[in-house]
Structure 1
């Protein structure tokens, strides 16, 4: 975990996607006076499930997994976060401990907005508070849909859906047509709601069918439309 110069909101490449774009220029400057930023490499923890919420986390760049650990000790990836996404707001709003962990999947930069500034915006900025409500609603809806798919979709369909999610998440405005990304088989299994062994076996099947190629942890999608057809077969 490295300290460096804190990025400014107005120059953030994901500014238009961030909840902080609901703040005015003066409010952003005030937030910027107190917020901090840190860089993380793949595998580093941003916050742990069960820890106290320190503030509002805003992803400047990079990919982060949000995961929970079941009673059997197995990890389940609930969602993925990228530039412009907010983390930790649920614990702040409810005054509870973090319900999930956030871990970097690659090199990323994350800003931390103070609790005081977060609650100041909630109290005095109706645009910000309305945006937060919409964000909570959107996240809840997406999580419910993913959990439903994990419960009822066969493993083959879940793999196709996970690969398409990873493709959308890793694509950037600099590389909008990129068809490649890297992920460990453990993380892919946790995203699918299955084991490393099953995810590895299913990947090999997809590779043999010509839908993708692999090189180490790197995956390149070769037939997007076929993955879409498999992922939506039971929708």
Structure 2
């Protein structure tokens, strides 16, 4: 079932997938002319907060979490990126160190694009430049929503929103809309929702008892998206 009309999923997803679509064949070829592909296993770190960037990353397959770690080494997942999304470009554009870390949450294939090629295409393609600015502006809305949820929502509402957002990510991977299965650890789910892992386990049991989800190990099947949206209490 589509979320159209019942949940504003566009306010929760970055829009970097469409950025490459505005490039001409010539500019796209230039962008990827020196790319290198690397396979990352689940849990592998792609880049760490505070390190110096030398390029950007294009996710070919798999999923990647962008996260920050506090002084107590607790993660807060900022965003989950999927196929065809770009990551790591904020630090390149600002000429600063990475403001967050990125790691694979499942086996992933990722292209590394040197920053010189990225910057060169950005200068040569006004359409790409405009699309990037639009994407950056939209990301502010996404991050503002995330902050609002952490500050104002109950644990149940936070978990419901996290599951809705992840459902859209896994649906994009090719699952049938009514058979979307999330494959994510309870710890990552807790770090995404901003709640304790034990609360995630307890709330998933409640959601399961209500027929909203089914669980099989770390896999979570969304059975009733309408009731899950109602749980989110998002207006």
In the superposition, the TM-score normalised over structure 2's length comes to: 0.88
- Alignment gaps of 5+ in structure 1: 1-15
Report the CA distance shift for 1:234/1:174 in structure 2 as closer, same or farther (over 3 A): closer
SS of match in other structure, 2:231: helix
Give yes or no for contact 2:27–2:125 (8 Å, CA) kept in 1. Answer: no
Tell me the CA shift for residue 32 of structure 1. Answer: 2.8
SS of match in other structure, 1:33: coil
SS of match in other structure, 1:34: coil
Tell me the CA shift for residue 156 of structure 1. Answer: 0.6
1-structure distance, mates of 2:131, 2:196: 37
Pairing 1:194–2:185 present: no
Pairing 1:114–2:120 present: no
Residue in structure 2 matched with residue 98 of structure 1 by the alignment: 98
Higher relative contact order (CA 8 A, sep 6+): 2
Residue in structure 2 matched with residue 165 of structure 1 by the alignment: 165
1:134-173 superposed matches below 5 A: 134-172=134-172
Tell me the CA shift for residue 29 of structure 1. Answer: 2.1
Tell me the CA shift for residue 172 of structure 1. Answer: 2.9
Report the CA distance shift for 1:219/1:75 in structure 2 as closer, same or farther (over 3 A): same
2-structure distance, mates of 1:35, 1:220: 36
Report the CA distance shift for 1:204/1:28 in structure 2 as closer, same or farther (over 3 A): same
2-structure distance, mates of 1:104, 1:18: 22
Tell me the CA shift for residue 37 of structure 1. Answer: 1.1
Report the CA distance shift for 1:159/1:173 in structure 2 as closer, same or farther (over 3 A): closer
Pairing 1:34–2:34 present: yes
C-alpha distance after superposition, 1:14-36 (max 9, x if no partner): xx934233322122222332111
Residue in structure 2 matched with residue 230 of structure 1 by the alignment: 231
Residue in structure 1 matched with residue 184 of structure 2 by the alignment: 183
Report the CA distance shift for 1:60/1:157 in structure 2 as closer, same or farther (over 3 A): same
SS of match in other structure, 2:53: coil
Residue in structure 2 matched with residue 219 of structure 1 by the alignment: 220
C-alpha distance after superposition, 1:67-91 (max 9, x if no partner): 1112232100001100111101110
In the superposition, the TM-score normalised over structure 1's length comes to: 0.88
- Alignment gaps of 5+ in structure 2: 1-15
